[in-house]
Structure 1
Amino acid sequence: MAVCLLFITLGVTAQNDKDKEVMAHADKAKAALLEKDPGLEKFFDSASGYVIFPTIGKGALVIGGAMGNGVVYENGNAIGMANIKKLSVGLQAGGQALTEVIFFETDEALEKFKEGNFEFAAQVSAVVADKGVSEDANYSDNVIVFAMPKAGLMADTSVGGQKFEYHPFK
């Protein structure tokens, strides 16, 4: 019982109000993803870890950018916060808000993310979360990304060039 109380106390003191807000949004985003495609449950259940970015804002007019904050989970438990930044140049226009979840199949892939040595190759793209899509989705290099548009219009599901920062709870 004392261990449980200690864990709860550490969890509460490790998060500021902004983190708590992002965590609440991540819970809602997970529920929305599972409602859209219940098959994602197998990834949430079996992955060594995952990151949920409840809202990533993207915008572009030749030069594009994206950013968002998320929650990092290991074995289903929140262990820290992350942020994502992306800058791109090319033929692009529009704006979009989306939810993105990155699943790590192995402990090694999750550790690479936590060490800050993680980035996607330019050709990697996200699987757009929709009913039944997860059935045929597979990991590539121990990682798979699902994205769910929230609002806006932008024909770009590339994830190449994304940079991440990880901040563990203390």
Structure 2
Amino acid sequence: MTSSIKRLTASICLFASMLIAPQALAEDGYSQAKSTFKQAKQTHKFFDSAYGYALFPTVGKGGIGIGAAYGKGRVYRGGSYKGDTSLTQVSFGFQLGGQAYSEIIFFKDEAAYKDFTSGSFEFGAQASAVAINIGANAQAGTTGNSAGAGKTAAKAAYINGMAVFTVAKGGLMFEAALAGQSFTFEEK
């Protein structure tokens, strides 16, 4: 990333943090985020069988035309903390507002884990995530996952060895933008 894009990303994230409820930003605990994801029925099979996962307690996202997101996380393998990761995202298109959310990425096997922890990894714009709404027991998915409420659950599956889930924490954002997420990894 060029330095001007990095400065723009930092400015947009600062703007997003001002729009997001302070309460959402204060809840930056890894155990709380993990507990939240474990409450969702859709993630049970992933916690039980995944080779590992990356957990981001708080990702801040915001934009006015050009958007950005940033979050720090940890990578786990076999339940053990293995290193730190960061998520950055720059998007272009119609978008307005700011929000905070938690994200977890499950790795199906060693190959997916190694891809992610290679030092620099990126999801394309077609990457899929299942958004979980714990309070209303409703789920909505992007690009191929079904949406449902009540007894109907989103169909979550590994795509290219990874499954991604998000839970909204606060804020409001309107967007119709394509964006990929980029990740870095530093072994502990």
Same fold (TM over 0.5): yes
C-alpha distance in 1 between matches for 2:62 and 2:100: 9
Where do residues 85-104 of structure 1 align in structure 2 (5 Å cutoff)?
Answer: 85-104=88-107
Q: Report deviation, 1:135.
A: 6.2
C-alpha distance in 2 between matches for 1:154 and 1:145: 20
Residue by residue over 1:107-159, the C-alpha shift from the partner in whole angstroms, topping out at 9 and shown as x without a partner, is 10110111124211211232101437566211111111100000011245988
Q: Which moved more, 1:147-156 or 1:133-142?
A: 133-142
Shift of the 120–95 alpha-carbon distance from structure 1 to 2, 3 Å rule, reads: same
The two structures, once aligned, show a CA RMSD in angstroms of: 2.1
1:144 is matched by which residue type in structure 2?
Answer: A
Residue equivalent to 1:147: 166
- Larger % of strand: which? 2
The one of 80, 83, 86 equivalent to 1:83 is 86
The one of 66, 70, 75 equivalent to 1:72 is 75
C-alpha distance in 2 between matches for 1:87 and 1:152: 18
Q: Report deviation, 1:34.
A: 2.0
C-alpha distance in 1 between matches for 2:107 and 2:57: 17
Q: Report deviation, 1:77.
A: 1.1
Q: Which moved more, 1:107-116 or 1:153-162?
A: 153-162
How many residues end up aligned between the 2 structures?
145
Residue equivalent to 2:113: 110
Residue equivalent to 1:28: 32
SS of structure 1 residue aligned to 2:29:
helix
C-alpha distance in 2 between matches for 1:158 and 1:126: 15
C-alpha distance in 2 between matches for 1:160 and 1:46: 29
- Contact 1:101–1:147, Cα closer than 8 Å, also in 2: yes
C-alpha distance in 2 between matches for 1:43 and 1:159: 27
Shift of the 87–146 alpha-carbon distance from structure 1 to 2, 3 Å rule, reads: same
1:73 is matched by which residue type in structure 2?
Answer: Y
The one of 129, 132, 135 equivalent to 1:129 is 132
2:82 is matched by which residue type in structure 1?
Answer: I
C-alpha distance in 2 between matches for 1:46 and 1:116: 24
Residue equivalent to 2:47: 44
Runs of 5+ consecutive residues of structure 1 not aligned to the other structure: 1-23
Residue by residue over 1:40-93, the C-alpha shift from the partner in whole angstroms, topping out at 9 and shown as x without a partner, is 121112111110000000000001000010010011111111001111111111
Counting aligned pairs with the same residue, the percent is: 40
- Larger % of helix: which? 1
SS of structure 1 residue aligned to 2:122:
coil
SS of structure 2 residue aligned to 1:45:
helix
Shift of the 122–99 alpha-carbon distance from structure 1 to 2, 3 Å rule, reads: same
